Structure 1
Amino acid sequence: MLKMASISPFAIMFCMAFACLSVAMASANPYPLDRKTVARENDPLNYYISTGGDDSKSGRSFEDAFATIDRCLAEVRSLRNSSGGKLANAVYFYFVNVSEAGSLFVLENTVEITAEESGDGNAFVVFGPLDQTKSVTISGGHLIKNWVKAGNTWTAKLPETLKSVRQLFVNGQRRMISNTGVMQYEKFGDGLSLDEAMDTGDDFDYIAYKRKALARSEADPNFFTYQEGQVPASLAEETGLEAIVYEIWTASVHPVTAIHPSNRTVYLKNPVAGRWETSPATGHRYILQNSKQFLKPGTFHFDETSRVLTYQPMEGETPSMQAIVPRLTELVTVVGSSDKKVANIAFVGLTFAHAAADYSTCFAGECSDQSANFLTTAAIRMEFASNCEITMCDVAHVGGYGVWLDQGCSNNTLSYVEVYDVGAGGVRIGRAGHVVDPDLQTNFNTLTDSTLADGGHIFKEGCGVLLQMAGHNTITHNHIHHFHYTGVSIGWSWGYAATSSPGNIISYNHIHHIGMGDLSDMGCVYSLGVQIGAQVVHNLCHDVWSYGYGGWGYYTDEGSSNMTYAYNIAYHTKAACWHQHYGENNQFINNIFAYPHHIPCPDKTGGFCYDSAIKSSRHPAGSGPGAFTSFNFERNIIYISNGTLMSASNPQDLLFSNQTFDNNVYWNTVSHTDVLFPPNSKSTFAQWQSHGKDKNSVIADPLFLKASSFDFSKLSKDSPALKLGFKPIDTSTIGPRT
């Protein structure tokens, strides 16, 4: 039992809050968290930390507060050493009287927590604010206080410790580096011209296009030709320029080495992978950035030679505003080893902000990896960590992923976390590459009741959640929105090879506004490879808007197998609500797919962006055990108002020969029962059924009660879907719980 009289009133409140939270979550959550943040048998030791503190003091009172987190960690080491190498009591470090600048605690260096600073058993090492009503921000930034007015701009000389600057935050809001906006180049290297690449009309022949493009393109070109009048000739005299080059599902960053106005050519330090230039879905798009000529209100330019940052303020801003440039790439690392993990570390009620973007891979080679896989850092990164918690924290204004549970992480929990305004994605779990050694695997971690939003500000391909070769993790009751690529990505194996990704659960998540017209080939939930026992259930997906093709709701990509998708909803997608590229033995049960093709597909965006409500693609010869992709599609509702119902792009399998369909309800809100079926949307329902498909299914209005307001949770008691065994999907339980 806790001896309440021996701890501060806030510690009592802190403990009670965790106890109440544990009870509430256990009763409401089908995957309850095992909360052990509070030591329940031994008195916790309370320490205090303040920007006005002194590391030579005891840390045991406000007056004797520590000044740095490093001193806190040294105290933990001392406590462990004094008790035989284990922590006998929980240790709480409370931030007090942080600073006059909005409770900002500025780090001098990355906080590095190792196994020597671990908790033990029920004894956690906990960092949090003393006063929960006052936020404390752990910042990796540099505060700019030396602005000098220069016409309609302000300038500030930055210290040598800031090697490069590509992010600026003013009064808590991101300001963009000066740029041209999106433009279209004429051609990349010796590849296709813009007119040739964008010739994707009704008679578009993709195979012929690929042959032509491959014949004309060179491998990994490092230059492109811009269109007449796009780039001022004076830019040829500037240094420090960068180009963002859009590929299909990525957009890579490149230093510009030269501009030749005579032939309208931009040369890049590092090449663009030639494979991208064979698809019209690139849109031939690019952005130039970091020139004073591009400045407009709310943007900045940085000269690495002079160290001068130039900012054009927005209306109403003054030099006294809070302006912060990120300095540290990582704010906190919790890193052990395979034989000595870090354990029982908790961060509660803190904000972590102002982490720099890591461009090292981009500038050393090329950074066009899917989902920004090339990144090796994150604002908070854990490796070989177990039973650690991040709860009720914010991670914001950072240059890469917010949180990364890297290799060897198990039984960690992220709950009630908000990750927003990020350069890449929200939360990353695992890493690329099949892992056999159980000590290296990342598994049994939980992300719950959190909000991940507003990503891809620097690396557009970042995902809300990226699960790579990690198994038995639970992503549940989260709100994931406004990412330029995918909402939740799971797997990371192309084909049927062995994986380390079994048993993941993606459930009760609200995922929306994905793609936002920038990239292609994406989904609210995207999977790769064999994932035995994986469950994607009770998710709500809507507003998926790709640039070109592939604005899908749920996307089982190459080799996705042995997965269950059930009780999900997808609506308002640019392309199919669900697309299976190829895979084996997937189950699609009791889902609602409504209103595909409800986001415009304008000309010159890569063509063929409308496919069908559900889509099956090619199964490469020899890639798997079956002749073609396979799945079971049962007790689903397909609710369309335009476009086709279903399509298969494999010319040898237009009739979905390896797939089973039954007890489904199909309905077109415009043509009603006039619904056509494969092959090629030329068959009647009776003809489709004659092939053994949908024998008990019907074409009928499912009788949603509030479909006009996009509420698909309620059906009339007379719904034909109910008669076929369909169970209504309760959307009130989806998303974070209060």
Structure 2
Amino acid sequence: MPYRPQLIAIVVLLASSLRAAEPTADVFVAPNGNDAWSGRLAAANADRTDGPLVSLDAARFKVRDIRLQSPDRKSPVTVMFRGGMYRLAMPVAFAAVDSGSGAASPTQYVAYPDETPVLSGGEIIVGWKVQPDGRWSVKLDDVKSGRWNFSQLFVNGQRRMRPRAPKDGYFHIASRVESPNAKPGRGDDRFRFTAGDIRPDWKNLSDVEVISFHPWFTSMLRIDKVDPATRIVSFTGHTRTDAAFGLLSAGMRYLVDNVAEALDEPGEWYLDRPTGVLTYIPMPGETPATATVIAPWLEKLITLEVPAGRTPIESLMFKGLSFAHTNWVTPADGSSISQAAVSVNAAVSIAGARQLEIRDCTFTQLGTYGLEIGRDASDITVADCRFVDLGTGGIKVGTTGIPAKGSNITHRVIVRNNLIAHLGRIHPAAVGVWIGHAADVSVEHNDIYDLYYTGISSGWTWGFRPTKNSGIQIRNNHIHHLGQSVLSDMAGIYTLGASPYSVLEFNRIHDVTRDKYGGWGIYYDEGSAGYASSNNLLYRTQDGGFHQHYGEDNRFENNVILDSTEVAWGPTRLDSSQTPGQVREKPAFYFERNIVSGWGSASVVRPEAAGKLFMDHPELLKVDRNLYWNGGAEPQFKHLSLADWRKLGHDKASVVADPKLGNPDDANFRVPDDSPAVGLGFKPFDISKAGRQNGGPADLDPKRWPRWFPPSTGGPKRIADDFESTPVGSVAEFAQTSEEPPAATLRVTDAVAFEGKRSLKFADAPKLKAAFNPHLYWSPHYRKGVVTAKFALRSDGAAIAHEWRGPGYPYATGPALFLSGSGKLKVGSTELLTVPKGTWMTVEIQCPVGTAAAKYDVRITLADGTMKEVKGLACSPDFKELDWFGFSAAGDRGEAYLDALELQVK
């Protein structure tokens, strides 16, 4: 059937087409062409005996013939594609024989003027039947036979969603469940869920996928079985690591995808693989007669790859083409992909190639990354392209490992003037531009927005290990609306490892929000070294404009940081990951001549910046000649006043003054020449050129680009557990539990209870690895209001400590109590009363959060009715958020019990 115009509506809208009065080419290709024809005509002749070719593969072979006939040709060989859809039956593999002949005679694959050719890995779905309830259905024999499976669907140029639960927000894991087949390094393959969240009677249960949200990546696991009695769901695979961040822990968010019973909203679809029936609920106004529905077959479209050490592919150009409709299906044993979803393939991949240009092309409606420039690639230019609506990320440059002997590091790559937006629709951890092991890479004048993770990531070496990276230039990019409260530990620009002579400048970065932590503007992560950031405008970045985990000899100078929700800037560590506590000799970074205006915390810096390690080595932080302004209030540096901060040698020449700034959203934003910052040596800079040149405004229309993953709400706002619904012998639900079995455990028991039949039993023991084990805690993330906690506690000889903590480390402490093994109860530093051994007491604590220097009230009631109340107890001066609410066994023997727990904020 003819290719309907709706399919390319998005491409036509975005593309800037080639223009020529009378197009000429060596080879023409058209959707209505014929590979038996000569390809010398742009359209079929009258009697249809000659005309354009119909396929890219046939065009490649035709070019080979031309090169053989004219080996000394000094002009380009041009293949021109007419508009329309070219369905690829398999990926097209270019080889060295397809190369051009130097700069004088490259081979060019280009679009016909004012037309949009689409190289597609998909198939148009036809034969729809409208059911009585308005749903459309069609039987696909290739699906039923097992030849075809897909997890993306595109209707009239827009991505459609499979049915998932819940419809709003997330489910949360009730408790972690260790696998009986656990092995070192292997992650989790099961968890306990809350009743009703997952059902064993769902249709095609093995096709249902659980998407769990770890701090900086996701796991996509297929259900193996569901046990309704224990409420344990098991998977066919496991998460990627047994490190804490890779486990399926209590309270972790998850979605359940591809649930047939959840198919109930317009725009949703479901593929019943056993029957081959595809069902779609149309959007208002859609009809089978006018809709173009496309499902993908291929994961890759084009490869330009040769083995290491072989003759490279060279001198090729692709211009004005569109690459669309690639597949990505969760493997049978699940998927738990590393940071940046870096191992996901790309629709177009390059390796062993040089002198390639990709210009004015569109990568859209893909399940994968758009483009990968990998091993042994050099002199590659990607310019004026659009990477829009992708399941993963935009562009990957370089490799995940240092090239082996005989291979060259990816180098001399230019990524310029591209639109990179609306990404991460399958893998939210994907990034706009990822740079691994590579050198001399320039990323400039790009618009990067609407992602759920980092905008540009540079480097792939953790710690101070050897690397060949150098000369990374990230300039004049407009990067915004990242994270969107879905993942943590991200930034507009993120770096890893050493990269000498690397520059980050004239970038406009804003609106970066995260889940639990780490929404920064510029982030030097583990071992970053040799980076210089200057003349960047960073605003509305949740955790600050600048952060360094640890690294050395980095610079952050002459930048503007505005309106951070939390602190404005700060480091975390000075040491290396290989030798914790060992301090490097070179300065960690230079933070000088910056404007820092507007932050939401009591401290301008992260707490660690004023911690012991930094106070012991102030010479390793070079901080001076900065301007601070927060409405006139003197800045605090955690517990240090500005005067105390200066005693460490920091900010001696800095000032507190109004910088006289305008609206940072103004395209022509500029620090005025009469700003007091200029007197400190700050040099006003022009940020108006950040982003694409003549690119137009960002398209954030929620109707065209709906949110694919909802923002995190931080977990349940009310925590209540009487342990009655938790199986005996299991850990507490929605809490993080740490034990040292078999002697030191923390499990639900039916031997003792305050109410009902069950409680949570602490069993302590001597000679543990950690004296505070066993322990557990909840993460309520309460930021504002009055928090009330109620619980019943009983000691049968064990000592129990209860504490509230703020975020980060070192953390601020809120309410605290300690019950000794002999029954002595202390609240704060006050000894209150003695609780008879083996009897219950109830505790009620009230404490406000949201303001520093909070005070709390405690009421204790014993089993005999004795009541004791204490009011106005002091928290740590900087306690104002409740992120950790926990109980620890604080002795070396005995047992204790917890029951009737309630925690809420109003």
Query: TM-score with structure 1 length normalisation?
Result: 0.83
* Residues 278 and 348 of structure 1, relative CA distance in 2, 3 Å threshold: closer
- Runs of 4+ residues deviating >6 angstroms: 278-282
SS at match of 2:243: helix
- Asked whether the 8 Å contact 1:613–1:640 carries over to 2, the reply is no
Work out whether 1:73 is the aligned partner of 2:60: yes
- Structure 1 counterpart of 2:657, one-letter code: A
Distance in 2, Cα, partners of 1:355 & 1:737:
29
Distance in 1, Cα, partners of 2:669 & 2:646:
29
> Where does residue 596 of structure 2 map in the other structure?
638
Work out whether 1:48 is the aligned partner of 2:28: yes
> Where does residue 212 of structure 1 map in the other structure?
none
Quote how far apart the aligned CAs of 1:66 are. Answer: 0.9
Note the alpha carbon deviations across 1:348-389, whole angstroms, 9 max, x for none: 1121110111544xx4464230111222x2111111111111
> Where does residue 695 of structure 1 map in the other structure?
652
Distance in 2, Cα, partners of 1:659 & 1:476:
30
SS at match of 2:377: coil
Larger mean CA deviation between 444-453 and 50-59 belongs to 50-59
> Where does residue 673 of structure 2 map in the other structure?
717
Distance in 2, Cα, partners of 1:237 & 1:562:
53
- Structure 2 counterpart of 1:301, one-letter code: Y
Distance in 2, Cα, partners of 1:461 & 1:140:
24
Quote how far apart the aligned CAs of 1:218 are. Answer: 10
> Where does residue 570 of structure 2 map in the other structure?
614
- Asked whether the 8 Å contact 1:236–1:261 carries over to 2, the reply is no
Q: Pick the aligned partner of 1:144 from 106, 122, 125.
A: 125
- Structure 1 counterpart of 2:311, one-letter code: K
Q: Give runs of aligned pairs for residues 342-361 of structure 1, distance below 5 A.
A: 342-357=313-328, 359-360=330-331
Q: Give runs of aligned pairs for residues 203-214 of structure 1, distance below 5 A.
A: none
Distance in 1, Cα, partners of 2:434 & 2:342:
9
- Structure 2 counterpart of 1:93, one-letter code: V
Higher-Rg structure is: 2
Distance in 1, Cα, partners of 2:583 & 2:498:
12
SS at match of 2:645: helix
Quote how far apart the aligned CAs of 1:592 are. Answer: 0.8
Q: Give runs of aligned pairs for residues 387-536 of structure 1, distance below 5 A.
A: 387-435=355-403, 437=405, 439-536=407-504
SS at match of 1:344: strand
Distance in 2, Cα, partners of 1:282 & 1:264:
13
> Where does residue 606 of structure 2 map in the other structure?
647
Note the alpha carbon deviations across 1:667-706, whole angstroms, 9 max, x for none: 112xx142112xxx22222222222222221111111133
Distance in 2, Cα, partners of 1:419 & 1:574:
26
Note the alpha carbon deviations across 1:532-584, whole angstroms, 9 max, x for none: 11111111110111111111111100000011011111111121211100001
> Where does residue 553 of structure 1 map in the other structure?
521
Quote how far apart the aligned CAs of 1:233 are. Answer: 4.8
Distance in 2, Cα, partners of 1:466 & 1:76:
33
Distance in 2, Cα, partners of 1:277 & 1:90:
53
Work out whether 1:113 is the aligned partner of 2:94: yes
Quote how far apart the aligned CAs of 1:131 are. Answer: 2.6
Structure 2 unaligned runs (5+)?
A: 1-16, 45-50, 695-906
Note the alpha carbon deviations across 1:563-618, whole angstroms, 9 max, x for none: 10111111111212111000010011101111111xxxxxxxxxxxx455334335
Larger mean CA deviation between 389-398 and 52-61 belongs to 52-61
- Structure 2 counterpart of 1:367, one-letter code: S
* Residues 278 and 526 of structure 1, relative CA distance in 2, 3 Å threshold: same
- Asked whether the 8 Å contact 2:222–2:334 carries over to 1, the reply is no
Note the alpha carbon deviations across 1:194-223, whole angstroms, 9 max, x for none: xxxxxxxxxxxxxxxxxxxxx9x9952211
Distance in 1, Cα, partners of 2:312 & 2:251:
47
- Asked whether the 8 Å contact 1:276–1:282 carries over to 2, the reply is no
Q: Give runs of aligned pairs for residues 287-298 of structure 1, distance below 5 A.
A: 287-295=255-263, 296-298=265-267
- Asked whether the 8 Å contact 1:449–1:735 carries over to 2, the reply is yes
- Which one has a larger percent helix, Structure 1 or Structure 2? 1
* Residues 14 and 394 of structure 1, relative CA distance in 2, 3 Å threshold: closer
* Residues 46 and 219 of structure 1, relative CA distance in 2, 3 Å threshold: closer
Distance in 2, Cα, partners of 1:525 & 1:316:
41
* Residues 233 and 329 of structure 1, relative CA distance in 2, 3 Å threshold: closer
- Structure 1 counterpart of 2:81, one-letter code: F
Work out whether 1:316 is the aligned partner of 2:285: yes
> Where does residue 207 of structure 1 map in the other structure?
none
Q: Pick the aligned partner of 1:241 from 201, 205, 208.
A: 208
* Residues 16 and 700 of structure 1, relative CA distance in 2, 3 Å threshold: farther
> Where does residue 204 of structure 1 map in the other structure?
none
Distance in 2, Cα, partners of 1:111 & 1:523:
36
Structure 1 unaligned runs (5+)?
A: 1-12, 18-37, 39-43, 192-214, 598-609
Distance in 2, Cα, partners of 1:15 & 1:123:
21
- Asked whether the 8 Å contact 2:422–2:449 carries over to 1, the reply is yes
> Where does residue 659 of structure 1 map in the other structure?
621
> Where does residue 330 of structure 1 map in the other structure?
300
Work out whether 1:128 is the aligned partner of 2:90: no
Q: Pick the aligned partner of 1:729 from 671, 681, 685.
A: 685
- Asked whether the 8 Å contact 2:214–2:246 carries over to 1, the reply is no
* Residues 281 and 220 of structure 1, relative CA distance in 2, 3 Å threshold: closer
Quote how far apart the aligned CAs of 1:510 are. Answer: 0.4
Quote how far apart the aligned CAs of 1:160 are. Answer: 2.3
Quote how far apart the aligned CAs of 1:391 are. Answer: 0.8
Work out whether 1:307 is the aligned partner of 2:276: yes
- Structure 2 counterpart of 1:66, one-letter code: L
Distance in 1, Cα, partners of 2:54 & 2:673:
65
- Asked whether the 8 Å contact 2:411–2:438 carries over to 1, the reply is yes
Q: Pick the aligned partner of 2:221 from 247, 251, 254.
A: 254
- Structure 1 counterpart of 2:105, one-letter code: A
Distance in 1, Cα, partners of 2:445 & 2:542:
25
Quote how far apart the aligned CAs of 1:716 are. Answer: 3.5
Distance in 2, Cα, partners of 1:558 & 1:458:
27
* Residues 141 and 279 of structure 1, relative CA distance in 2, 3 Å threshold: closer
* Residues 633 and 16 of structure 1, relative CA distance in 2, 3 Å threshold: farther
* Residues 704 and 736 of structure 1, relative CA distance in 2, 3 Å threshold: same
Q: Pick the aligned partner of 2:663 from 684, 706, 728.
A: 706
SS at match of 1:77: helix
Quote how far apart the aligned CAs of 1:241 are. Answer: 1.0
Quote how far apart the aligned CAs of 1:711 are. Answer: 7.0
Q: Pick the aligned partner of 2:636 from 669, 676, 684.
A: 676
Task: Count how many residue pairs are aligned between Structure 1 and Structure 2.
Answer: 649
> Where does residue 22 of structure 1 map in the other structure?
none
Query: TM-score with structure 2 length normalisation?
Result: 0.68
- Asked whether the 8 Å contact 1:467–1:491 carries over to 2, the reply is yes
- Structure 1 counterpart of 2:85, one-letter code: L
Quote how far apart the aligned CAs of 1:291 are. Answer: 2.1
Distance in 2, Cα, partners of 1:736 & 1:438:
37
Work out whether 1:538 is the aligned partner of 2:506: yes
Q: Give runs of aligned pairs for residues 214-293 of structure 1, distance below 5 A.
A: 220-235=187-202, 238-272=205-239, 273-276=241-244, 283-293=251-261
* Residues 438 and 239 of structure 1, relative CA distance in 2, 3 Å threshold: closer
> Where does residue 95 of structure 1 map in the other structure?
81
SS at match of 2:340: helix
Note the alpha carbon deviations across 1:266-306, whole angstroms, 9 max, x for none: 11111123324578999511111112211121111112222
Note the alpha carbon deviations across 1:461-515, whole angstroms, 9 max, x for none: 1000110111110000000001111100000000111112111100000000111
- Structure 2 counterpart of 1:138, one-letter code: L
- Asked whether the 8 Å contact 2:200–2:225 carries over to 1, the reply is no
Larger mean CA deviation between 224-233 and 66-75 belongs to 224-233
Q: Pick the aligned partner of 1:188 from 169, 176, 180.
A: 176
* Residues 14 and 185 of structure 1, relative CA distance in 2, 3 Å threshold: closer
Q: Pick the aligned partner of 2:150 from 165, 177, 188.
A: 165
SS at match of 1:297: coil
Quote how far apart the aligned CAs of 1:237 are. Answer: 6.7
Q: Give runs of aligned pairs for residues 568-579 of structure 1, distance below 5 A.
A: 568-579=536-547
- Which one has a larger percent strand, Structure 1 or Structure 2? 2
